[in-house]
Copies of this chain bind each other. A is one copy, B any other.
Amino acid sequence: MTNPKIIIGIDPGTRLTGYGIIEVVGSEYRILDYGCISPPPKLKLSDRYLILFNAIEELIQKYIPQVLAVETQYVDKNVQSAIKLGMARGVAIIAAKRHGLAVFEYAPSKVKLAVVGNGRAGKSQVQGMIKLLLNLSEVPPEDAADALALAICHAQSYNSLIPCNCEI
């Protein structure tokens, strides 16, 4: 694969979707943007997905990333919430593919290992390391930190020169 310069990580959820965008400069990472997309919960589910889609598309058009990194997300969910989560994930992937991004997925343990050095690290450890690695002035919200961790995990996979089979 070609060297991705700009990576968007997305942690999709039915209520809150975290995003984080980094630029890879050599072995350094520069933060471009991060935050959470939270469509009003009173809206219809399909309207919330449309807001999510439009917000992700806007971020892609603004920062022109080459890669989307998402979590595998196959654990600890019941079937009903898995379908809803899958829908949010499908929305993010379609927004990316329509703009020609390659899509990679990583297991949560791999992301934690890449960022904290411990595949069983807690949420707050991930948040703390993200603040440190990206020289942020404040600790990012959980979902945004997870999204930034995904982006960093992908950058590390590339830099390690180990072939990555996680393109989906």
Q: Which residues of A contact B (CB under 8 A)?
A: 44-47, 49-50, 53, 73-75, 77-80, 82-91, 93-94, 96-98, 103, 167-168
Contacts and interface: CB of A to CB of B under 8 A. Distances in A.
Contacts of A83: 73-74, 77, 82-83, 85-86, 89
Contacts of A103: 44, 46
A42 to B, nearest CB: 14
A93 B49 contact: yes
Contacts of A50: 94, 97-98
Contacts of A47: 97
Secondary structure of the A contact surface, majority rule: helix
Nearest to A51: B97
A85 to B, nearest CB: 6
A44 B168 CA distance: 5
A97 B168 contact: no
17 contacts: A44-B168, A45-B168, A49-B90, A49-B94, A49-B97, A50-B98, A53-B98, A74-B79, A75-B79, A77-B79, A77-B83, A82-B83, A83-B85, A83-B86, A86-B86, A88-B90, A89-B90
